Structure 1
Amino acid sequence: MIPAKVKIVEVGPRDGLQNEKEFVPTETKIELVNRLARAGIVNVEATSFVSPKWVPQMSDAAAVMAGIERRAGTIYSVLTPNIRGFEGALEAKADEIVIFGAASEAFSQKNINCSIAESVARFEPVAKAAKDAGMRLRGSISCALGCPYQGEVSVASVVDVVERMKALGCDEIDIADTIGVGTPKRTREVLAAASKVFPRERLSGHFHDTYGQAIGNIYAALLEGIEIFHASVAGLGGCPYAKGATGNVATEDVVYLMNGLGIETGIDLDQLVDIGDFISRAINKPSSSRAGRALFTKKRDGVAACA
């Protein structure tokens, strides 16, 4: 049941950089997006059209989208929380917009002061506008494997939000382990249930490595036939609910895993390792990718070529 080919959605430029305190130069963001596309990433989450007041790092969204080199066959996604954000995405000629909701009532109330149902309803005009414009629509479900406030999140709660996202017309739906507490057994249970109400081939796994479970959870998702995974080059991004903890799973680690399993990604791992080094140096932070660090060291020292 393990797929022969998977799609990697690169979230580093948006989800990875959004919480960096020091502003990352627009030119660096553009170069990052361009290099990722050239390495074979076919879906790059480039930026976010949100209020600069709330996410200052994404204040240059329009400039980033205007500056990137559009590579044929590559989907450039942007996060859009409201109609104003959608209008910015439309003007920037984004290929896909991303909306989001939580599987946890406590998380929804704490973060946006409304229920899950109310939060999804807020996206109805955005979803309709996207469909009317012929744009791809992706829905992301946070806290699908656990919540920092209520703890366990039921499988039924995840399925409920999947059905709500489906009703909005989402082309893909992300099952996100926002705080990285999920384990392989729970991952399989949630994905198996979600695939009963939404096409398996359009579900994606978004795993954080806070507790070192991301690669195990990805393998578990592969066993459930999942073909789309999110990752962040150099492991960009942290977990705001666990101080100092690793956040997004590193793209280099995911591609290394896929190569070892003989699963096609279309991504050049050698280029990816260089990109991880590039962005780590640019933001003056060490890479969180274990495979990336090991392969870069081998490459630098001339010990062996990248697999």
Structure 2
Amino acid sequence: MIEVLRVGTRGSKLALWQARWVADRLREHSSDTRVEIKVVRTLGDKVQDRPLAEVGAIGSFTRELDRALLDGDIDLAVHSLKDVPAAAVKGIALAAVPEREDPRDAFIGKGAKRLVDLPRNAAVGTGSLRRRAQLLALRPDLMVADLRGNIDTRLRKLNESKTLQGIVLALAGIRRLGLGVHVTEILDTPKWLPAPGQGALAVMAREGDGAVAAIAARLEHSATRSAITAERVMLARLGGGCHVPIGAYAYADGDALALHGFVADPDGVRVVRSQARGETSAAGALGARLAEELLATGGKEVLAALDSAC
């Protein structure tokens, strides 16, 4: 029996909420185990004055927690799954994927309540290249401003800004923090696609640590695992380089799994979209098939152009 289970997390309000939610579920399933939360500061937390693409977005919110896991300083790490790189880290396993929150993005408008109602040349804030691309594909006239920070910080910047007229961020995080009242528009799929894995949590453990993995596995939600597997395999097959907007969303469609995806340039001028259906039991194959379809219909050229700019 494990007497103490140390759960690592970033220190933001949202990250702590997510880690505490996981800790509470673990306590429900393992009442004899004491669950402790340990905060680990990541590169993404330390560097807030530059866009993520400039500081190395891949792993910027997970790398230090990976090291803490491998060094034995913590037993589990909790992440927003969209922050976990598609390429596996040697020695670390995705031990559990709990049931997903709403994966969609949300718009918070200060004047206009919907993106389509914003005045011409309005300024909208986001720190995401994927959101930037979709904003500009929808409204090429918009001025997209880089916006970093936690949810409270972004809301404060919106309220204090004399130029920003709205921001786009993940609906799941807003709802988890009880801030849903601020949302003025939910951006519906599949017209607007989230990041692969958005709205889901990742519970990571060391490979070979069977006792810890067995406890974590009690949080597993199989339908969510299938959906994020399709999305993340698509992401991995596309690669992505350092400046690539990619969106994906998989969901149950009767007895099958449906997957929508896109790859674009950051200015939304070239957006390649596609969709596919497949068996839930072959979620990975579905993701690979959609990636190949995207590459064959223009995605390869988009990626090549962006790679040359890195």
Q: Same fold (TM over 0.5)?
A: no
Say which structure is richer in strand: 2
TM-score bin, normalised by smaller chain? under 0.3
TM-score after normalising by structure 2: 0.28
- Give the greater-gyration-radius structure (CA): 2
